[in-house]
């Protein structure tokens, strides 16, 4: 039932608002997608935008309407904010509460405000669920306590 509702919601965003949300995406009912410039929202296949996340595609202060792009198999974490014009690379994960101001390369985990790379070389499946990890950024590894 929930999958059917998510599919109806995706069709609603695409048909009524002109967004480009690919098949297999999970968009939470509490996620906020910018309706001031809806044609600027592009979300790739099998990505997830979870509760409280916001994706913006316009900036009122600068008077710009731009495309904000989420790649395939990405996960946009709870209460995170994707700013206008940002591109999230395929297979990347945005941690909960992050504020993404710049483009994110493929296959990484970003976190924080402003968002920075925590881990590289990850492989994700449907909805950005991590399947495997290849490496860790040196500064992130230094922050982890020794076991």
- Superfamily grouping for domain 2-141: Hexapeptide repeat proteins (2.160.10.10)
pLDDT per residue over 133-142, tens digit each?
876 554 544 4
Q: Are 45 and 22 in contact (CB under 8 A)?
A: yes
Q: pLDDT at position 138, please?
A: 46
Cross-strand pairs, 120: 108
Three-class SS state of 5: helix
Q: pLDDT at position 139, please?
A: 52
How far, in Å, CA of 28 to CA of 79, rounded? 11
Domain ranges of the chain: 2-141
Task: For residues 48-59, give the mean pLDDT.
Answer: 97
pTM beyond cutoff 0.75: yes
pLDDT per residue over 78-125, tens digit each?
999 999 999 999 999 999 999 999 999 999 999 999 999 999 999 999
């Amino acid at each position: 039932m929930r999958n059917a509702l998510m599919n109806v919601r995706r069709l609603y965003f695409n048909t009524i608002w002109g967004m480009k949300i690919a098949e297999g995406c999970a968009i939470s009912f509490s996620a906020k997608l910018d309706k001031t410039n809806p044609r600027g929202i592009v979300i790739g296949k099998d990505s997830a935008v979870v509760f409280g996340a916001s994706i913006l595609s316009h900036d009122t202060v600068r008077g710009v309407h731009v495309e904000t792009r989420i790649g395939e198999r990405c996960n946009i974490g709870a209460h995170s904010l994707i700013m206008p014009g940002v591109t999230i690379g395929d297979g990347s994960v945005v941690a909960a509460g992050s504020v993404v101001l710049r483009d994110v390369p493929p296959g990484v985990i970003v976190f924080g405000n402003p968002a920075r790379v925590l881990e590289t070389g990850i492989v994700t499946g449907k909805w950005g669920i991590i399947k495997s990890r290849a490496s860790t950024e040196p500064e992130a590894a230094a922050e982890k306590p020794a076991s």
